[in-house]
């Protein structure tokens, strides 16, 4: 299992979801690992993705990323 701090987009498991919580309004979105792998560089660090996302609810950039499930962590 890849440590969260070293995980890259390529490590996200197909069929799982990554939770993104907007830092401005708290809107929660779930993006599939497939979508992220298609849109982002496979070598991008998961921990660096947060600032890249724009909220669909308020339009502000920046989200907290929870990729634990997509990386195989449970609980």
Does the footprint of Zn ion cover residue 6 (CB under 5 A)? no
Does the footprint of Zn ion cover residue 67 (CB under 5 A)? no
Does the footprint of Zn ion cover residue 24 (CB under 5 A)? yes
Residue 32 CB, nearest distance to Zn ion (Å)?
20
* Smaller CB separation from Zn ion, 17 or 53: 53
Q: Take residue 24 and report the two structure tokens written for it.
A: 């401005």
Q: Among residues 20, 33, 46, 55, which is the contact residue for Zn ion, using CB under 5 A?
A: 55
């Amino acid at each position: 299992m890849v440590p969260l701090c070293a995980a890259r987009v390529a490590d996200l498991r197909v069929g799982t979801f990554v939770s993104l919580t907007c830092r401005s309004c708290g809107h929660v979105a779930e993006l599939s690992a497939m979508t992220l792998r298609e849109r982002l560089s496979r070598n991008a660090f998961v921990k660096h993705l947060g600032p890249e996302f724009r909220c669909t609810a308020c339009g502000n950039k920046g989200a907290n990323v929870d990729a634990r499930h997509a990386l195989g962590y449970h609980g």
